[in-house]
Amino acid sequence: MVNQNQTSSSFQLRAENVSKIVTGFALQEYVFKQLLVVESSSAWKETYFEEKSEDLTASASRNIKGVGRFSEPPYVETQFTEKSGRHLKYMDQTRISWEDALTNDVDVVRRHLLRLARAISKAVDDTIYSALSDNAGSSTASTGAWDTGTPKIITDIAVAKRKIAVFNYNPDRGGFLLLSPKDFESLYIELVETRGASIPAFSSEAVTNGKVMTINNLTVLVSNSVTADEALVVVSKEVGTWKSVQNLTTETIRDPGIKWTIRSWEIGQVQITNPNAIAKITNTQN
């Protein structure tokens, strides 16, 4: 992290240090990339396959169980739906006056770098969440209103987990619950005020990337990228892939006596390959 005793001009505006600081800030802000398998890509258009999740069964009158001696095994086949998508570039830049860079009274440089990184990570998270929500394989309406004094979000979570489990995904292994700040408040009310439960929080070192607690074997992620009155239960790594053409990259452009321009960008796309590893809960009772 930045040493406050060092001037901005002597430390923070060296290109390699700016890049490290921006990337460090961004890594703390990304929430939903941790749900996906991250792979590199060198093609502008990617083709991928959405997999059918039902168990394989033998066709016609054959059966997997009880195959006779010297009999040919029954044929089984999974089904895939071909899909494709093009990569998106996420990009922003900011300018810092030469005067601000020379002083350390107010750490303007540090704040600019933080906001620069946060803008890109938020845009990426918005895209990932929209893809998860739009492609959810199952959905359920809330049992009761989340906004009342007696919400039943715990019951709704159990229903969502069941809807995932019937498709042979295990929400108890790598499962996440995605909530908006508004709906996390409702969950908190149910746990503490209604049920009298204690909150099993993460250690202070682990409260990053949106993680706030665990409940019913799910890691709870809270983010403003989540649509209010909506929640998702997601089996991480099973659900899809983030294809990365270029990780977050930062360039520092020096204009002596006038300004520094700091530019950041990232290129990639989200691929939802297993929609049935996602269950959506909608608060329709509010």
What percentage of the chain exceeds 70 in pLDDT? Answer: 79
The pLDDT value given to residue 19: 86
Structural domain contains residue 160: yes
pLDDT band at 206 (very low <50, low <70, confident <90, very high): very low
Domain membership of residue 23 (yes or no) is: yes
- The DSSP H or E segment spanning 26 is helix 15-29
Q: What is the mean pLDDT of residues 132-150?
A: 91
Domain tally for the chain?
1
In a domain, residue 1? The reply is: no
In a domain, 101, yes or no: yes
Nearest to 124 by CA among 273, 268, 25, 251: 268
Percent of the chain residues topping a pLDDT of 90: 49
pLDDT on residue 67 = 74
Which residues constitute the domain of residue 148?
8-52+79-282
- pLDDT, one tens digit per residue, over 253-285 is 989 999 999 999 999 999 999 999 999 999 986
pLDDT at 85: 83
Give SS3 for 186.
helix
Q: Is 61 within a domain?
A: no
Span 117-128, average pLDDT: 94
SS3 51: strand
Cα 201 from Cα 213, distance rounded (Å): 4
pLDDT of 3 strictly over 50: no
Task: Confirm whether 67 is domain-assigned.
Answer: no
Look at residue 55 in the predicted model and tell me its pLDDT: 60
pTM: 0.81
> Tell me, what's the pLDDT at 264?
93
* CA within 13 Å, CB half, 285: 16
- The CATH number for 229's domain is 3.90.1690.10
In tens, the pLDDT along 216-241 reads 999 999 999 999 999 999 999 999 99
Instruction: Judge whether 69 lies within some domain.
Output: no
pLDDT at 29: 86
- Mean pLDDT over residues 138-151, rounded? 88
274, 236 Cβ separation under 8 angstroms: no
* Residue linked to tokens 């977050």: 248
Residue 63 in any domain: the answer is: no
